[in-house]
Amino acid sequence: MTTRALEGRIALVTGSSRGIGAAIASTFASEGAAVVVHGRDADAIETVRAGIAARGGRAVGVVADLTDFAAVEALRQDAERAFGPVDVLVANAGGSPVRPGPVEDIAPEAWDESVAVNLTATFLTVKSFLPGMKERGRGVVITMSSAAARRPTAMSPVAYAAAKAGIEQLTKSITLQAGPAGVRAVCLAPETILTERNREQIPDDVQQSLRLAHPIQRLGRPDDVARAALFFASDAAGWVSGVTLDIAGGAVLA
């Protein structure tokens, strides 16, 4: 059952051709939003877009490199041509290109790549879309951190965790700067989410040990993150801004 909580809204979800982003895009569309599906794989984007359309939703797909500001600006213009100005921006795109290991073993170019695809991509996306939101006096920015930034361990992917921690600080700055203009900003921090890729890459015995490490003894699903994003995007969260929400089954305790 849907509530049509985003009826009439226009949403862009970056990195929504697979996994968590695809779940958010599909959930938003089912709740009435017109959705811009973004990624780097045109075929994967089309699969998500077609799925939304088959269920009666409205969506377009756009390919863009979020580490290139000119490409981000073109993405914004494509979204506006398709549906109009974006009301809800979910800066979800990111990844961990550097394997966990000692700080001294991280190659400088690998560090730069991790910061670029996570922190820089989020910054450039917000930089492009935030001015219009402030001018219109409304909007929601949802960014994506990770439990890696909230609960570091000796085996944390350091470059990824540092970039995600930077996204949390960026979100707080957006909150303070854009709040007076009517724009809210929140950050989501998922723990282990069983995306299709993680189901394939994490052996069953490791999945079981990870489950037992959570007070709620299961691993997360993409829909767990999508439902949280829906709440923050909706008017139900109209007085919530500047927070980071751990979606972690109780494994991350502030």
Q: Is 173 a catalytic residue?
A: no
Supply the pLDDT for residue 1: 62
Neighbour-count burial for 57-78, b at 16+ CB within 10 Å, e otherwise:
bbbbbbbbebbeeebbeebbeb
Residue 253 lies in a domain: no
pLDDT at 197: 87
> For residue range 89-121, what is the model confidence (pLDDT) as tens digits?
999 999 998 888 899 999 999 999 999 999 999
The Cα 73–Cα 61 span in angstroms is 15
Each residue's pLDDT tens digit, 197-206: 888 888 898 8
Tally of domains within the chain:
1
Strand, coil or helix: what is 150? Answer: helix
Whether the CB-CB separation of 110 and 32 falls below 8 Å is answered with: no
From first to last of its 254 residues, the chain has per-residue pLDDT tens of 678 999 999 999 999 999 999 999 999 999 999 999 999 999 999 999 999 999 999 999 999 999 999 999 999 999 999 999 999 999 999 999 888 889 999 999 999 999 999 999 999 999 999 999 999 999 999 999 999 999 887 778 999 999 999 999 999 999 999 999 999 999 999 998 988 888 888 889 888 988 988 999 999 999 999 999 999 999 999 999 999 999 999 988 87
CA distance 131 to 125: 11
Question: Cα–Cα–Cα angle for 4, 7, 12, nearest 5°?
Answer: 110
Q: Which domain holds residue 221?
A: 10-247
Catalytic residue among 160, 171, 192, 241: 160
What CATH number did the domain enclosing 233 receive? 3.40.50.720
Residue 2 belongs to some domain of the structure: no
Q: Give the residue carrying structure tokens 């996994």.
A: 19
In a domain, 120, yes or no: yes
Strands in 58-63's sheet, in edge-to-edge order, are 58-63, 34-39, 10-13, 88-91, 139-144, 183-190, 244-247
The confidence score (pLDDT) of residue 100 equals: 85
- pLDDT value for 81: 98
